[in-house]
Structure 1
Amino acid sequence: MILQAGRPVFVASSNQENFRINKILVGWKDTREARRAVIDAMPFLQMAQEVHVITIDNDASDETWSSLDDVVASLSFHGVKAKASVFPEKSDGGTIADVADATHADLIISAPTATAG
């Protein structure tokens, strides 16, 4: 359902009593869907105290870093202070969740990824 929604989907824990958005993690891949997710989340991003844009790539190229620099510059244009990082892919696929946990992110912004099959 989430992949087919065609709209932003906000998922909160069932035991969530309060919601804060001090620290936001943006899972970035240079796709139309990721750009749309960032634009749709702009009100949240503008309220955050920290925004960390990450991409998962074992061999980050200049193109990867250029894409990250572009999204950080775009966020800056909208008044959002952000920093960018690249993390290697993990075999269990938990990298974004691991970074979110390590940085105590309150919110993850990410575009859905289509799976084969």
Structure 2
Amino acid sequence: MSFKTIVAIVQSEQDAERVLDGAIALASRFGAHIIGVHAEALPMPYTSATGFPDTEFMQVSADLNKERSAKLRTLFQKKLQPSGLSFEWRAEETFSGDSALSSLASVRAADIVVAAQREAGSDTNADIGSLVYDAGRPVFVVPHAGPVAASFRHIMLAWNGSREAARAAFDALPFMIEAEKVEIFVVDPDEDSDDEGLAGVGIAAALTRHGVKASVATRQTKGGTVEDAVQNRLIETGADMIVIGAYSHSWLHRLLYGGVTRTVLRSSPVTAFLSR
């Protein structure tokens, strides 16, 4: 399995460098084509104090949008041209102006998506959570800080026996096969259950048949949260990638309790690979 078409979500200057570094690293490794996607919001109609459309304001907004899009296209081309990779740029105008939400047509014809981790307090973040939920393709999320890599030494698979976790595990095989070790991490396993799928034994055996150096580790939350258990395990083991099946709980559970997916998208200290 390989990744031959990569979509890079370029929302703003703040995230463009790291997203493109990640996309270039992956494309160089797999010989892939990169599609850069950026969206600007359509100028909204405003009225003047007299009740007539403020065409001057709308024109200024449109000009600013074009200028910003052109600046990002130039940055994209400047980063890609020396790489020797094939690439293309797609700029759009949409009601939301969100490059992640506007990229779905491109994403669904790609092998993998590269996006930036959500930055707290920024008003220029793309909606990566909705992208992960709707894309149908794996999303490679580059963290705020730390090295941008295309191969990983120690990968942690967050496992709960769900359909989403299974999808993520096999989507991430190209990375897992080359890793020095892959830990299947299970939080709050049912110690009285004979279900090897939930305990991580079955997925460990399946991955091992692919040549993955897999092991299983478990942790009881003991009143804590699954999110904290996952984050703490990442730090303890020094893993440099987390693989997770996204949104495996119901929308009501996520609304009331949050979830591992949201925590990973906002604060994972390492590269995250998410599938659903």
How does the TM-score come out when normalised to structure 1? 0.87
Counterpart of 2:230, as a letter, is I
Query: Which structure has more RCO (C-alpha within 8 Å, separation ≥ 6)?
Result: 1
Maintained 8 Å contact 1:60/1:86: no
- Alpha-carbon distance, 1:86 to partner: 1.3
Task: Flag structure 1 segments of 5+ consecutive residues without an equivalent.
Answer: none
1:81 is the counterpart of 2:213: yes
Write the distance in 2 (CA, Å) between the matches of 1:26 and 1:48. Answer: 12
Distance 1:61 1:5 in 2: 37
Change in Cα spacing, 1:16 to 1:50, as seen in structure 2 (3 Å) is: same
Residue 107 of structure 1: aligned partner: 241
CA RMSD of aligned residues (A): 1.8
Find out whether 1:8 has 2:141 as its counterpart.
no
Q: How many residues align?
A: 116
SS at match of 1:11: strand
Distance 1:34 1:75 in 2: 13
User: Which residue identity lines up with residue 10 of structure 1 in the other structure?
Assistant: F
Deviations 1:61-113 (A, max 9, x none): 3335x121111110111001111011112524311111011000000001112
Counterpart in 2 of 1:36?
Answer: 167
Instruction: Identify, as 1 or 2, the structure richer in helix.
Output: 2
* Structure 1 residues 27-66: aligned runs within 5 Å: 27-57=158-188, 59-64=190-195, 66=196
Identity, in percent, stands at 28
Evaluate the alpha carbon distance shift between residue 22 and residue 31 of structure 1 in structure 2; reply closer, same or farther with a 3 A threshold: same
Cross-structure match for 1:71: 203
Answer with 1 or 2: which has the greater Rg. Answer: 2
